[in-house]
Amino acid sequence: MKNTIARILNQTYFGKLFHLNKILFVVITSFFALSIFANLIRLEISPFFVWNLYAENYFPKNKYTVNVVKYNGKELTFTHTWLEARQIIISDPLANYLSVTVDHHPDFWSDYLEHHWAVKHPEFKSAVSCLINTPAQYKAFPGWFKKYLSNVKHEDIKDILVTRKKLVFGKSGDLQEIASDTMAMIP
């Protein structure tokens, strides 16, 4: 039985590594063991595992707000694909643009960079000004958005209409629209 177990272990990656290079075996095994230990005590060992990455509590809401984008009269829909990054680059900058220019909220990202990140990392404080959106960038956003959407959809975009809808779930689980406002029109 011991010979069978030893033979099986010798055929594994760690068994082969032990026979080829004992120093590298000790380094990799130690790293592996420390990673497991750090995960067990919930110590963040980025970039491998960050415990609080998705730790925000989400509570049920009565009303939901969504931005609906129509281009050339067609509604932009998102489906689960391997092109998730393209969808995020459409929705997140648009939400930021609307928040700052239409709703007149302060730019969350700029506030975070200036008051939290730069304080925590003073050696990079000079780079913050390059990362913050300026009024000129907000002014240029509609043209960039139209060009980007055209590139993603592989068609010439003539106009874009962004509508903010407020929705609720009915008692039977059906989605009901309770309000709709035009937020932006990009000719």
Cβ-proximal residues to 121 (8 Å cutoff; 6+ apart), any chain: none
Question: Do 164 and 180 sit in the same domain of this protein?
Answer: yes
Question: Do 34 and 72 sit in the same domain of this protein?
Answer: no
For 50-70, b/e burial (b = at least 16 CB within 10 A) is eeeeeeeeeeeeeeeeeeebe
For 131-142, b/e burial (b = at least 16 CB within 10 A) is eeeeeeeeeebb
Question: Do 42 and 91 sit in the same domain of this protein?
Answer: no
Question: Do 54 and 98 sit in the same domain of this protein?
Answer: no
Question: Do 95 and 170 sit in the same domain of this protein?
Answer: yes
Parent domain of 22: 1-58
Which pLDDT score, from 0 to 100, does residue 53 have? 64
CA distance 51 to 43: 8
Question: Do 151 and 85 sit in the same domain of this protein?
Answer: yes
CA distance 96 to 141: 10
Nearest CA-CA partner of 117 in 98, 133, 138, 132: 132
The count of structural domains within the chain is 2
Question: Do 51 and 68 sit in the same domain of this protein?
Answer: no
Taking only the tens of pLDDT, the chain with its 187 residues reads: 667 877 887 888 888 888 889 999 999 999 888 888 887 887 766 656 665 666 677 777 888 888 899 999 898 887 666 667 778 888 889 999 999 998 899 888 888 888 888 888 888 888 888 888 889 999 999 999 999 999 988 899 999 999 999 999 888 888 888 988 888 888 8
Handedness of CA 158, 75, 88, 104 (dihedral sign): positive
How many other CB atoms sit within 10 Å of the CB of residue 87? 16
Question: Do 163 and 143 sit in the same domain of this protein?
Answer: yes
Given 13, 36, 58, which residue is the final one in a domain?
58
Question: Do 71 and 147 sit in the same domain of this protein?
Answer: yes
Question: Do 30 and 104 sit in the same domain of this protein?
Answer: no
Q: Which amino acid is at 175?
A: L
Which pLDDT score, from 0 to 100, does residue 54 have? 64
Given 58, 74, 98, which residue is the final one in a domain?
58
Question: Do 71 and 52 sit in the same domain of this protein?
Answer: no
Given 39, 58, 77, which residue is the final one in a domain?
58
Please answer whether residues 98 and 183 qualify as being in contact, where contact means their C-beta atoms are separated by less than 8 angstroms: yes
Which pLDDT score, from 0 to 100, does residue 97 have? 92
Which pLDDT score, from 0 to 100, does residue 48 have? 60
Question: Do 45 and 78 sit in the same domain of this protein?
Answer: no
